[in-house]
Amino acid sequence: MTQLPLRAQLASALGRSAATLSRMTGRGDGSVIGGRVGLMLEPDLLRKLALDRRLALVSATNGKTTTTRLITSALLELGEVATNAFGANMPAGHVSALSQHKDAPYGVLEVDEKYLPEVLDTTGASVVCLMNLSRDQMDRAAEIWLLAQKWRRALSGKPTHVIANCDDPLVTWGASTAAKVTWVAGGQRWKEDSWCCPECGGPLDRKDADWACRECTFHRPEPQWALDGEAAVDPRGQRWVLDIQLPGLANRSNAVMALAVAEAFGLPVERALPRLREVKSVAGRYTTVERDGRQARLLLAKNPAGWLEAFDVADPQLPIILSVNAQGPDGRDTSWLWDVDYRILRGRPVFVTGERRLDLALRLDVADVPFAICGSFSEALAMQPPGRVDVIANYTAFQQIRSEFGRAV
């Protein structure tokens, strides 16, 4: 590591102090305020902190935090890694992450989809990992064709090595201007945002995993890596049974992306994979909380594609508690509930809570899914027989449950 200029050192140190203060006073984990203080004192701080490190940026609609965690876990094989583990995925969070590990030769940064062009320009990251794009919090997030267009412009003419999911047509389009792309067949369960060609608007024809535009030449590139059931297939055709602790198809897909990123850093699968298997829970996702003999497993789902993934993980034999809010971070428009197909829950005991439980109640009523409405999560949990129950909650609803049960794990 080269020495930071004095001003940047000071900015970075003051930012860390602000972060510590924020944590000590219980205001948060400090990753945003610390970075903001640093950037205020030295606007060029992120670029300076990124110099002489090998960075991977991770972006997608879903799975950013988990994949960032998996890649970080793998790269720890190589040395110290700076990362924004708590999902503070805008430049202030990146400054904070790099300040806290100022000597780390590696960095893995989760990046908000909108900020990817800016963060790539500023940090000059050598690797970018792109997993999926789907409708998400439309009242505040950018529209996804527009996002993919911005990714194309940002990647064009840079030496960046992109690792991208070629099963998502919009991601493929967004990544395909990069000089070097490693394509991963990571799967795509939610297809409602990719029936049309991002290049020309024509219909996409799909056959099994393959897709191609009927009207222009845009088509699925040949993948080097693939998720095949429970295993990853590497570019040499070797199968690696993943056997990770994180549940569900989406996480197996995230794991294959992480293995491909690790290899781009020179880390072979045999060293990376055991590290991925150590990850049990990520910022409270998939963790189990317990009260009075009820064990509730917490699944986070922020948008229709995320709910589909959560349904894949939820146990059909168990009752399920659903909690939905519509605060700023959730998106204040609850219309997206109507894009989720809740009929899969028919036959399970379903409990509905959260600040927007009446929206969810009507949605379930129209889907002919019987349910009980509960005033709070605690009330919903108390209505369960002793034993296991699954919980799906959107962002602030999830955080409310976590803070009620302690933020451990």
Name the residues that contact another protein, by CB under 8 A.
135, 138-140, 143-146, 192-193, 195-196, 201-203, 214, 332-339, 358-359, 361-363, 365-367
Tell me whether residue 198 or residue 223 sits nearer to another protein (CB atom). 198
Distance from chain centroid for Cα 171: 14
Tell me whether residue 200 or residue 382 sits nearer to another protein (CB atom). 200
Copy the structure tokens of residue 157.
Answer: 């003419």
Tell me whether residue 188 or residue 251 sits nearer to another protein (CB atom). 188
Residue 373 exposure: Cα atoms within 13 Å on the Cβ side:
13
Least distance from another protein to the Cβ atom of residue 262, Å:
35
Least distance from another protein to the Cβ atom of residue 145, Å:
5
CA distance 177 to 110: 21
Least distance from another protein to the Cβ atom of residue 204, Å:
9
Question: Are 84 and 109 contacting, i.e. CB atoms less than 8 angstroms apart?
Answer: yes
Least distance from another protein to the Cβ atom of residue 78, Å:
41
Least distance from another protein to the Cβ atom of residue 267, Å:
38
CA distance 60 to 63: 7
Residue 293 exposure: Cα atoms within 13 Å on the Cβ side:
5
Closest CA to 121 of 150, 84, 88: 150
Least distance from another protein to the Cβ atom of residue 337, Å:
7
290 φ/ψ angles, rounded to the nearest 5 degrees: -130, 140
Tell me whether residue 80 or residue 333 sits nearer to another protein (CB atom). 333
Strands (E), 10-126: 54-59, 81-83, 106-110
Least distance from another protein to the Cβ atom of residue 36, Å:
25
CA distance 179 to 112: 22
CA distance 113 to 97: 18
Question: Are 135 and 82 contacting, i.e. CB atoms less than 8 angstroms apart?
Answer: no
Least distance from another protein to the Cβ atom of residue 340, Å:
9
Least distance from another protein to the Cβ atom of residue 360, Å:
10
Tell me whether residue 44 or residue 365 sits nearer to another protein (CB atom). 365
Direct distance between the N- and C-terminal alpha carbons of the chain, in angstroms, rounded to an integer: 32
Question: Are 409 and 284 contacting, i.e. CB atoms less than 8 angstroms apart?
Answer: yes
Tell me whether residue 176 or residue 254 sits nearer to another protein (CB atom). 176
Tell me whether residue 1 or residue 358 sits nearer to another protein (CB atom). 358
CA distance 222 to 206: 15
Question: Are 183 and 129 contacting, i.e. CB atoms less than 8 angstroms apart?
Answer: no
Tell me whether residue 351 or residue 405 sits nearer to another protein (CB atom). 351
Q: What residues contact residue 83 under an 8 Å CB cut-off, 6+ apart?
A: 68, 69, 72, 97, 101, 107, 108, 109, 110
Tell me whether residue 138 or residue 344 sits nearer to another protein (CB atom). 138
Least distance from another protein to the Cβ atom of residue 332, Å:
7
24 to 21, 141, 227: CA distances (angstroms): 5, 32, 43
Tell me whether residue 31 or residue 194 sits nearer to another protein (CB atom). 194
Distance from chain centroid for Cα 313: 16
